[in-house]
Structure 1
Amino acid sequence: MDPGSVEKAAAALLDAYATGAPIAPLTEEHPGLTVPDAYAIQLAQVAAWTADGARIKGHKVGLTSAAMRRQFGVDQPDFGHLTDGMFYAEAAPIDVGRFLQPRIEPEVTFVLGRPLSGPGVTVADAVAAVDFVLPALEIIDSRIADWRITLADTIADNASSGGVVLGARPVRMDGLDLALTGCLLHRNGDLVDTGAGGAVLGSPVNALVWLANALGERGVGLEAGHVVLPGSVTAAVPVAPGDTFTAAFGGIGTVTASFGEAAC
């Protein structure tokens, strides 16, 4: 894809954010859209955000569970960028109108205590770089109409990022087996799904390793203090105005995200 087409595609996605109107899949307009093309489109949006003052606070890994890959018909993980404007506090209702087609995902989240750069990152390297973990609820969203995404579509759309709510109690990884960490996801008090860390590439740590090496191939490293969302332990659940979600993780704690009505 030539640079002009990359900028045009990025502009269409940025316009979807601004107008709240999703667009047709990019792969329909560009049938030959490749994964490298899609990451170029993602980075063009990131450049626009940072030019407007946004700060990169971390990354997310998407499509790490078999359930999510089946749900969206894709066959490998991807990554996206997290900016400072994507983080929401537990205590404040989230305006659901800020999103187009929001869904919720429970995740065990890493906060790094030291830089981590690939390629060649091992599980031991990744564990040593983690300061602590937190329970999190990621809000995924799509600027692609009706979630009709291929892998290239979701990569171009910043890995379908929307926002994230982090729990407030940090937990050290000592003694935790994240592969065996279970999760109960409730919506408005009703249990809607269950999962475990093993659904995330066998362990959320494996997703961190994958991310560090995938970024390293592009000359990018993870920084101390960065937040890494490694992927959902359940399938994504649609969000409606007025919903309250709580994820409870064994040995890690709980996190709650409450959604208000859409602002006029």
Structure 2
Amino acid sequence: MTDFLKLTGKRVLITGGTKGAGAATFQLFRDFGANVITAARSRPETLPEDAFIAADLTTDQGCISVAEAARQRLGGVDIIVHMLGGSSSPAGGFGALSDMHWHQELDLNLFPAVRLDRQLVPDMIKQGHGVVVHVSSIQRQLPLPESTTAYAAAKAALSTYSKSLSKEVSPKGVRVVRVSPGWIETEAAVRLTERLAAQAGTDYAGGKKIIMDSLGGIPLGRPASPEEVANLIAFVTSDRAGAITGTEYVIDGGTVPTV
């Protein structure tokens, strides 16, 4: 029986591929035989040096350097997976967010994708094929006012940009897909869970319940694993998903309560 997914030889750029779901996606693509490079500020010791580009993707020059390195090392790209994202804004609602916080969230969650696409998607159009995955978040639909307003707004902007890009480039052979995770049980999420559990005087399961309750509940009863998110991304970038573009795939265990 032939393998269901074939990514052997695909030239892949994954941003933020050193931690969490990004690291799981990086490893899965390598396991499938793709030629993968990733970019972040610093390289983990476990990551091969030839698969890593050191760059600050929150800057225009950082994105330019990553695009140039991708062309030099891979000879171009067939797949771009924009995993980079996160939030460092303080809690306290909208009033706690300064212009600096808003700029930080946009610089991390929107502009790296916009800038790298501007650099690399024209090359995809010239070669007549390519796939771009924008990793958004259910926060774009389900923001938490106490702590994620700016992050959620940045992810909403990313999703709208992604849809518009898909309408422009899909007729030219380039598919654009969004993947929107809910809570993922990454290393950082584990640390947060442990901290909340300690503060509440409960165990790890109790800490997970605190987080799930803050999201309004997860019908599946658990967060997604980084590997499950990676599996979805691998599918939508494969030829098996060749007719899929301009749409969004949510992986949240049923967290979003509406259709």
Assess same fold via TM > 0.5: no
What is the TM-score normalised by the length of structure 2? 0.28
Larger RCO (CA under 8 A, 6+ residues apart): 1
What is the TM-score normalised by the length of structure 1? 0.28
Considering fraction of residues, name the structure with more strand: 1
Considering fraction of residues, name the structure with more helix: 2
Structure whose CA Rg is larger: 2
